[in-house]
A and B are shown apart, each in its own frame.
Chain A
């Protein structure tokens, strides 16, 4: 692989100008570079070599919040809570729901788009940002809705709700910088006060202050990175750096005409292998809507029921190394 020439845009989206794609790479590189000093087993692939032939680690998890599941249990209450606020959607995947006149769901839109990318568009090309909002959110959006004092507002009126068409992440843990920082910080090995190595992922996350130990995403990423670091290896995120929708697990979804519900999963941004935005909707000529589809015998009445069937993914690269890291106590 050698040294990466530059970081590509998430999902290799090509809507930005060449200059803006170059500056996006610089932005990602800066996020990474500012951490490589403090975390020597975390590396910048645009600076340091990545040997060819390495198999990237694909880390996948359910889009539905494990934290909400733990707190609400497996019953229907968890769906209501997850659909109630984007702040509850904390597994690097957020969604919003559109309903028809009869209140049945007609479309659920999922995104794994990081706010940093849209902020980048806002800084460099506001009209392109507006165009993205017009194409993917609502044609009525105006620039004035998106900016406050010249600053882009990620949590603007068009991108706050769990209803309608969302734009990108707003949940506070769902940022590219958070994912990058997590990988960097998870390279640090930890030990309890008595010197016992910390290897359990929930204990590791609590010990190192890496966030909520009960999420599906971060603790898993942290454990995989920490295991790799234990062996002296170096770690970075796979280019194009981003979070990806890894498809819809459609088995068990019952449609009116027996169709495989996977047909109704449309990637709107990115490619099937690198999707950052997708929607679940039944084409009009089918004569039924999402709300008529059943999962486990129950009609879909919440977007979260579909989120149960959506998988999210991030890619990491582990480069063989000869580091001999020590262990830090919790909180250090």
Chain B
């Protein structure tokens, strides 16, 4: 949670996903219940009429409403398959595998907690599959399922607990957007109601992928050897998941959501969109394409770093057309030395520990694609102007995520419906510039005001600011001191992610001896330690 975020409305006490799980125990088998945390006090068994009214997705229509209540993920897929004719798009099934220890081979006498889980997708179409299932084991209980609601749009969230056949409808994507349901239950992690694939981009660290396979011998250890889901993992693996599932699914919900917003059919206001622009509700994880081992052993001379660690290039360059950063590289020798300096090691907090980094070097959080896509769509639909977006995002640009300065600007954003304020973007700019803080040097309001004054032809002056910064961090990457500073900054950002519910494994990041602390990047490429 971003403690400083000002939500659109008062939020009741936070009710995490574990509440959903705890209170879903002991429910009636062979039934579907509604339990939307924040809205419902307890699970309510839905009558067939209520379920038909409220659940407009293909999973509900083809399975639950037909009186079929699967107990595991395998049964879910079988039930759907039996409900549609041969050749139907819902006969298309794809399987994917993720786990923070998938690249660690079994070791005698050491049980490694790899946190393996499967994603199975059902369906195929321009918007991606209609149904996504997540489970630790295809044949065991506890299922999480998302299914696109054909009636109201957005994904419906379902789950079971243990081996029960009691299904819980935990909300729709739109419940992620507004109080009292936002941040509760599944929306604790699915902050804006999207499908999650944290490690979205190549090399998809932690996923079985073309860049790093799950070690085959772990399947025997996990009792999955020869399981059809393992034997039939999707060709291209995480690459296929990114291109054919995750990005289309995120875009599908973003479009539906913002279409509803501009047409006046939404409970949210444009301020909710700006929360995603100005704050860090969630993150994706990026990493080097270079394996830590190859770098540490000197097998390769240099390590590429994610440019989104240094600047929000996805928003600033790809959406707004500002100057792209040069590809950041660090010599492998400097990277290897930092592993020693900071006693970098990987552990599952149980039996497994080894020196060194995660499989791919330098895993760091970056702006979530769902937020970048929301920015893109908001500009495309005229909710935000390019000038406003650029001026906001250039405030404190050396800190692409977790920027307290940009977050503060949210205080000047009105919580009014779309179209209620004449020129929404201009009104925000006016409000910031009219604030008392705008006259005080060093404040984010003052920084914004200067940026706004660049006018519609903001590209050249903004590019000049970026160019100076790119040169500065590029020079520091050639020195041990400079790179070590970035490692310390990376650790501070990882600490923020460890406090987020999307962190489900101690092996998401490596450990270091770097003390906790606030660290920020300056425009001269140096790191400020609080």
Residues in chain A within 8 A of chain B (CB atoms):
55, 58, 60-62, 66, 69-77, 192, 199-203, 206-207, 213-214, 216, 220, 223-224, 227, 246, 249-255, 258-261, 296-297, 308-309, 311, 313
Q: Give a binary string over B257-289; 1 marks a CB under 8 Å from any A CB, 0 the rest.
A: 000000000000000000000000000000001
Q: Is B290 an interface residue (CB 8 A)?
A: yes
The chain A residue with its CB closest to the CB of B105 is A199
Q: B244: which A residues are within 8 A, CB to CB?
A: 249-252
| Contacts across chains A and B counted by CB atoms under 8 Å | 130
Question: A61 near B239 (CB under 8 angstroms)?
Answer: yes
Q: Is B72 an interface residue (CB 8 A)?
A: no
Question: B243 near A202 (CB under 8 angstroms)?
Answer: no
Question: B299 near A55 (CB under 8 angstroms)?
Answer: no
Q: B65: which A residues are within 8 A, CB to CB?
A: none
Question: B294 near A206 (CB under 8 angstroms)?
Answer: yes
Q: A69 vs B318: C-alpha distance in the bound complex, in angstroms?
A: 15
Question: A252 near B317 (CB under 8 angstroms)?
Answer: no
Q: A62 vs B313: C-alpha distance in the bound complex, in angstroms?
A: 23
> Which B residues between 229 and 264 are near A, CB-CB below 8 angstroms?
231, 235-237, 239-240, 243-245, 247-248, 251
Question: B210 near A75 (CB under 8 angstroms)?
Answer: no
The chain B residue with its CB closest to the CB of A297 is B376
Q: A309: which B residues are within 8 A, CB to CB?
A: 243
Question: A58 near B235 (CB under 8 angstroms)?
Answer: yes
Do A224 and B213 form a contact, CB below 8 Å, given A55-B231, A202-B299? yes
Q: Which of B210, B211, B245, B304 contacts A60 (CB 8 A)?
A: B210
Question: B126 near A297 (CB under 8 angstroms)?
Answer: no
Q: Can you name 14 extra interface pairs (CB under 8 A) apart from A74-B314, A203-B293, A213-B299? A: A70-B304, A74-B313, A75-B318, A201-B212, A201-B291, A202-B290, A220-B210, A250-B126, A251-B244, A252-B128, A252-B243, A252-B244, A297-B376, A313-B235
Q: B325: which A residues are within 8 A, CB to CB?
A: 73
The chain A residue with its CB closest to the CB of B319 is A297
5 A-B pairs with least C-beta separation: A252-B248, A202-B294, A60-B235, A200-B293, A206-B299
Question: B327 near A251 (CB under 8 angstroms)?
Answer: no
Q: Which of B212, B236, B243 contacts A251 (CB 8 A)?
A: B243
The chain B residue with its CB closest to the CB of A255 is B126
Question: B126 near A77 (CB under 8 angstroms)?
Answer: no
Q: A253 vs B373: C-alpha distance in the bound complex, in angstroms?
A: 15
Q: Which of B213, B216, B239, B291 contacts A62 (CB 8 A)?
A: B239
Question: B247 near A252 (CB under 8 angstroms)?
Answer: yes
A sample of 21 inter-chain contacts (CB < 8 A) reads A55-B231, A58-B235, A60-B240, A62-B239, A69-B289, A74-B313, A200-B291, A200-B294, A201-B291, A202-B299, A214-B290, A216-B210, A220-B213, A246-B235, A249-B243, A250-B126, A251-B243, A251-B245, A252-B244, A258-B126, A297-B376
Question: A260 near B125 (CB under 8 angstroms)?
Answer: yes
Determine which residue in A66, A200, A206, A246 has the highest number of CB atoms from chain B within 10 A of its CB, and name it.
A200
Q: A251 vs B92: C-alpha distance in the bound complex, in angstroms?
A: 13
